């Protein structure tokens, strides 16, 4: 039961409890209205608790961040017209990452 259905049950129950003045035998409209109000309140509380535990799309206005930690060494292959780029005997890609494996690209 969602929050909309809960509010609808509360509204219908309030109308049956406070606005209807019909008296009948075997069926009390006022008691039915009170029952609908109580069910609507319980449903609204359950819906609010469920959605509050979910967390929504952000956390207090701050977006969620994911940090990925890898234990593997990065690999890169540098291809140029002169062959692999070397820096002091060590091959590097863009001056930042060491090249672990080299291969010729055709």
Residue 26 placed within a domain: yes
Q: Is residue 20 part of a domain?
A: yes
Asked whether residue 44 is assigned to any structural domain, the reply reads: yes
The residue range of the domain holding 13 is 3-54
Residue 92 belongs to some domain of the structure: no
Q: What is the structure's pLDDT at 34?
A: 95
| Mean pLDDT of the residues in the chain | 75
31 within domain boundaries: yes
Q: How confident is the model over 48-69, as a mean pLDDT?
A: 69
Residue 46, judged by CB atoms within 10 A of its CB (0-12, 13-18, 19+), counts as middle
Q: What is the pLDDT of residue 68?
A: 74
pLDDT at site 51: 83
Q: What is the pLDDT of residue 99?
A: 54
| Helix (H) / strand (E) containing 93 | strand 90-93
Q: Identify whether 38 is part of a domain.
A: yes
């Amino acid at each position: 039961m969602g929050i909309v259905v809960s509010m609808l049950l509360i509204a219908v129950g309030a109308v049956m409890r406070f606005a209807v003045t019909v008296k009948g035998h075997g069926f009390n409209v006022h008691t039915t209205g009170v029952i609908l109000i109580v069910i609507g309140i319980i449903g609204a509380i359950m819906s609010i608790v469920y959605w509050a535990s979910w967390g929504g799309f952000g956390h207090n206005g701050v977006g969620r961040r994911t940090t990925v930690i890898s234990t593997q060494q990065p690999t890169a292959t540098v291809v140029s017209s002169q062959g692999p780029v070397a820096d002091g005997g060590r091959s590097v890609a863009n001056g930042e990452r060491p090249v672990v494996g080299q291969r010729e690209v055709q």
